[in-house]
């Protein structure tokens, strides 16, 4: 299942880690994850989200604010009953763990390029295979997964097609055009609209859109900590001015959540 990120040879258990026939070895961290991101594949010393960003997202999600989103995601994946699945860009593992709980007999993998995120994700479910790895060079074999999930994460479409078995599917979860509109209105003079279907134009040959649905609800954030964490876990936390961020944190906020789920299947 796992392949070497350096030579693509199969990886097998070896002492407290994994190794390939060519002799490339990768140790398992004490938290339980495998770091399959070679230094030559990094764009910086510590790529991905830093500890502060990861902790903000962990606090916000563990507070239950996005629980309906995670519940629907797990339901949709469970309906497919995959033998093997992969969560790409799993962050600190909130959504991944709920998928794992819905699929106790399936083999689950999750990766993120952030070591800080994966260190925390490991604590959620030790049965899953947690990996520090690049989504552009996923260390899993061709056609090895029946389901891929991508939650608020960039996506390498060619890698997705490579990883999916024929008839398998990618479940992409991302914001609709109205997502957090009230928050965006408080942060910017001009709120730019965006097309929540633009990703459909990126679907490669050999894959097709099979199903779409949207989940919407209203969210009221009473505590300044929750509002600060929401800002920290979105791009708005660094795009908006400090003055406007402080104004958002200072007062209770009611905001609409709008999320789109797309099933994109690989052809048989």
Q: Which residues, 6 or more positions from 38, have their beta carbon under 8 angstroms from its beta carbon? A: 5, 6
Q: Where is the binding site, in residues? A: 4, 7, 20, 24, 66, 92-93, 179
Q: How far is residue 163's CA from residue 4's CA, in Å, rounded to a whole number? A: 15
- H-helix or E-strand spanning residue 160: helix 157-163
Predicted confidence (pLDDT) at residue 23 exceeds the cutoff of 90: yes
Given a contact cutoff of 8 angstroms between Cβ atoms, the answer to whether 180 and 256 are in contact is yes
Q: How far is residue 129's CA from residue 118's CA, in Å, rounded to a whole number? A: 10
Q: Which residues, 6 or more positions from 129, have their beta carbon under 8 angstroms from its beta carbon? A: 2, 34, 107, 108, 109, 110
Q: Where is the binding site for Zn(2+), in residues? A: 4, 7, 20, 24
* Overall size of the chain counted in residues: 268
Instruction: Give the closest residue to 171 by CA, choosing from 142, 146, 193, 197.
Output: 146
Angle among Cα 174, 179, 180 to the nearest 5 degrees reads 130
pLDDT at 240: 86
Contacts 24+ apart (CB under 8 A), 209-214: 209/262, 209/263, 209/264, 210/169, 210/263, 210/264, 210/265, 211/261, 211/262, 211/263, 212/260, 212/261, 212/262, 212/263, 213/260, 213/261, 214/176, 214/258, 214/259, 214/260, 214/261
pLDDT at 151: 97
CATH 3.40.50.150 fits 32-266, yes or no: yes
- H-helix or E-strand spanning residue 79: helix 67-80
Predicted confidence (pLDDT) at residue 44 exceeds the cutoff of 60: no
Q: How far is residue 248's CA from residue 224's CA, in Å, rounded to a whole number? A: 8
pLDDT at 38: 86
Q: What is the mean pLDDT of the chain?
A: 93
pLDDT at 40: 60
**What is the reported pTM?**
0.94
Confidence of residue 50 (pLDDT cuts 50, 70, 90): confident
Given a contact cutoff of 8 angstroms between Cβ atoms, the answer to whether 166 and 143 are in contact is yes
Given a contact cutoff of 8 angstroms between Cβ atoms, the answer to whether 191 and 144 are in contact is no
Backbone CA torsion sign across 35, 37, 40, 44: negative
* Secondary structure of 20-40 in HEC code, one letter for each residue: CCCCCEEEECCCCCEECCCHH
Confidence of residue 45 (pLDDT cuts 50, 70, 90): low
SS3 content of the chain, % helix, strand, coil (to 5): 30, 30, 40
Confidence of residue 59 (pLDDT cuts 50, 70, 90): very high
pLDDT (tens digit per residue) in 162-213: 999 999 999 999 999 999 999 999 999 888 878 888 999 999 999 999 999 9
Give me 23's structure tokens.
């002799």
Instruction: Tell me the mean pLDDT in the region 19-26.
Output: 96
- Inter-axis angle of helices 94-102 and 51-62, nearest 10: 50
Q: Where is the binding site for S-adenosyl-L-methionine, in residues? A: 66, 92-93, 179
pLDDT at 41: 57
């Amino acid at each position: 299942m796992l392949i070497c990120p350096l030579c693509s040879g199969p990886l097998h258990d070896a002492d407290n880690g994994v190794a390939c026939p060519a002799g490339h070895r990768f140790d398992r961290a004490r938290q339980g994850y495998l770091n399959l991101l070679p230094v030559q594949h990094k764009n910086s010393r510590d790529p991905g989200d830093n500890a502060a960003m990861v902790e903000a997202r962990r606090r916000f999600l563990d507070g239950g604010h996005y629980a309906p989103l995670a519940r629907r995601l797990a339901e949709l994946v469970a309906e497919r009953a995959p033998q093997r699945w992969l969560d790409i860009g799993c962050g600190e593992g909130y959504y991944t763990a709920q998928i794992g709980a819905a699929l106790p007999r399936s083999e689950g993998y999750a990766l993120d390029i952030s070591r800080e995120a994966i260190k925390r994700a490991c604590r959620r479910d030790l049965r899953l295979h947690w990996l520090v790895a690049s989504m552009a060079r996923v260390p899993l074999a061709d056609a090895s997964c029946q389901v891929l999930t991508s939650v608020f994460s960039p996506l390498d479409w060619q890698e997705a097609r490579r990883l999916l078995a024929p008839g398998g599917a990618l479940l992409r979860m991302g914001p609709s055009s109205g997502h957090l509109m009230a928050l965006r209105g408080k942060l910017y003079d001009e709120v730019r609209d965006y097309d929540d279907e633009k990703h459909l134009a990126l679907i490669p040959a050999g894959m097709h859109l099979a199903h779409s649905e949207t989940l919407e609800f209203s969210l009221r954030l009473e505590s300044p900590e929750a509002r600060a964490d929401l800002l920290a876990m979105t791009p708005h936390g660094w795009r908006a001015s400090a003055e406007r961020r402080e104004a958002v944190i200072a007062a209770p906020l009611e905001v609409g959540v709008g999320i789109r789920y797309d099933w994109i299947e690989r052809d048989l």
